[in-house]
Structure 1
Amino acid sequence: MTAPNAQTTTPASTSQGSHHWVLTLELPGRAAMTQNGTYTPPPGTTRYDAYLVLRQHVLADHPEMSRANTMFFALEPNRL
């Protein structure tokens, strides 16, 4: 699967992914973090597939959270 496109600024909507995601991870009593971005899943991707890709994307930058619990995950179409 392709890697998600995490955005740190507000670019034109054409450069954003088709979905917006939010993921919160927690190591109870030690640390918590929330990340978000946009992502365009390949055709046929399930919500679970997207969750695994996005969690791996976050963990690539924060390997110390590899044993963290998922406290929140949202994946919604990126449109109003």
Structure 2
Amino acid sequence: MTTQNAQTTIPAPAAQGSHFWVLTLELPGRAAMTQNGTYTPPVGMTRYDAHQAIRQYVIADHPEMARATTVFFALESNQL
């Protein structure tokens, strides 16, 4: 009797941005949400510009959060 060893193929990781971000938005007393992802800002972009771009990206998927307050925002290098 022979047995075959199962082989697992690990897919190549998807391309990631140069920075990792976390954004928490809140509508006080009604709703809160946290999302994260990676992002490669264009050369010369400021941290403020990146926050605005990421916030608009999140709000595009969740328009009900358009008037939400930013409770937390982090943008750091994605390299360890």
The TM tier, using the shorter chain, reads 0.7 to 0.9
Deviation for aligned residue 1:79: 1.0
Query: 1:24-76, CA deviations, whole angstroms, 9 ceiling, x for partnerless residues?
Result: 00000000000000000000000000000000000000000011000000000
**Is the counterpart of residue 12 in structure 1 residue 13 in structure 2?**
yes
> Hey, what does 1:69 align to over in structure 2?
69
> Hey, what does 1:54 align to over in structure 2?
54
> Hey, what does 1:23 align to over in structure 2?
23
TM normalised by structure 1 equals 0.83
Secondary structure at the residue paired with 2:59?
helix
Secondary structure at the residue paired with 1:52?
helix
Runs of 4+ in 1 over 3 A off after TM superposition: none
Unaligned runs of 5+ in 2: 1-11
The 1-side partners of 2:56 and 2:16 are apart by 20
Kindly provide the amino acid, as one letter, of the partner of residue 29 in structure 1. Answer: G
Identity of aligned residues (%): 74
Highest Rg: 1 or 2?
2
> Hey, what does 1:35 align to over in structure 2?
35
Unaligned runs of 5+ in 1: 1-10
Deviation for aligned residue 1:12: 2.0
Residue-pair matches, total: 69
